[in-house]
Structure 1
Amino acid sequence: MSIEVEFIQEYTPEIKGELLDTLRKVLEAAGELEEVHGEVVVTFVNDERIHELNRDYRGIDRPTDVLSFAMNEQGEDEMDIFIDEEEEEIPNMLGDIIISVPRAREQAEEYGHSFEREMGFLVAHGFLHLIGYDHSTEEEEKEMFDLQEEILTRVHLVRE
């Protein structure tokens, strides 16, 4: 199983180097654990931008830490898409993960762990939402958060 990742930098200062490598490893570990392959776009933004997206797409008028927009979900009014079997294979676009970098920095400090771990947590959390996980109930939350911890442990982003 493989996960292809594209990073988009809307936030300055940019997220670079080793952290991008770590985030890619988090997504690859998540894909391997869940036996999912496909493409994911991760965009780094500021609080103002994520606030705008949260308001416009979720109707929640405040900033948040991470948003996920799954491409494989079908809304009520959307039509089914049928692909001709003879056509070239279409890549499995899982969706977009949007992360507020300032919010991640604040949360890392608040929770007493590294910025790298917080970013890994948010990427894993966003990815699990893309593939259908949710945390609306206590049971769902426990399942999702246990998976996130397993993913982070696989890439050595453990709590110190």
Structure 2
Amino acid sequence: MSLQLAWNNEQEIMNISESLITTLEVLLRKAGEVEGVEDGEVALTFVTDKQIHELNKQYRGIDRPTDVLSFAMNEGLEDEMEIVYELGEEEAGPDLPEVLGDIIISVETAKAQSEEYGHSLEREIGFLFVHGFLHLLGYDHQDEASEAEMMGKQEAVLTEVGLTR
């Protein structure tokens, strides 16, 4: 078993290329390696600002779009999306990966931020993906120390994969 990426595209602003997905899979393996996570599945969905705005308002009480949202499966459901899997006993087994959670990225915001920061859209989406993955593992950035730790981890993974500014 290994880390797996399951992805879905719910926007039409940007074509999601095979090379982008390959890059995200490499980032997932590298970030997993750094964090000691060898197995599991991460679900990634590309959306519009309107879609992420609705999710941000519904689940975080924040009435505006954002760049990335993460919903960890290992956290309590009070603040997370409730996801129900209906697998028969014969379908469930040891070969099914543990679902680590969902990452949702707004392609519109990622595009605007890549232009603002002067780097590629691929790098921005990679940054947001690693950021979301670290949130799935319990990292946060509520204070300067935790933000610095999280940023350092993100930049190290992106640099190793060649997605620099």
Output the TM-score relative to the length of structure 1. 0.89
- Residue of structure 2 equivalent to 1:84: none
Q: Hey, what does 1:113 align to over in structure 2?
A: 119
C-alpha spacing 1:3/1:136, structure 2 compared with 1 (3 Å): same
Q: After superposition, where does 1:44-59 map in structure 2 within 5 Å? A: 44-59=46-61
State the SS of the aligned residue for 2:66.
coil
Q: Bigger shift: 40-49 or 6-15?
A: 6-15
Q: Is the 8 A contact 1:45 1:98 kept in 2?
A: yes
Q: CA RMSD in A?
A: 1.6
Q: Is the 8 A contact 1:7 1:42 kept in 2?
A: yes
**Structure 1 stretches of 4+ moved >2 Å:** 74-77, 87-91
Q: Structure 2 length as normaliser, TM-score?
A: 0.86
The partner residue of 1:88 within 65, 89, 93 is: 93
Q: What letter corresponds to residue 114 of structure 1 in structure 2?
A: S
Unmatched segments (≥5 aa) in structure 1: 78-86
Q: Aligned runs of 1:10-159 on 2, under 5 Å?
A: 10-12=10-12, 13-36=14-37, 37-75=39-77, 88-89=93-94, 91-159=97-165
* Shift in Å, 1:11: 0.9
Gapped runs of 5+ residues in structure 2? 80-91
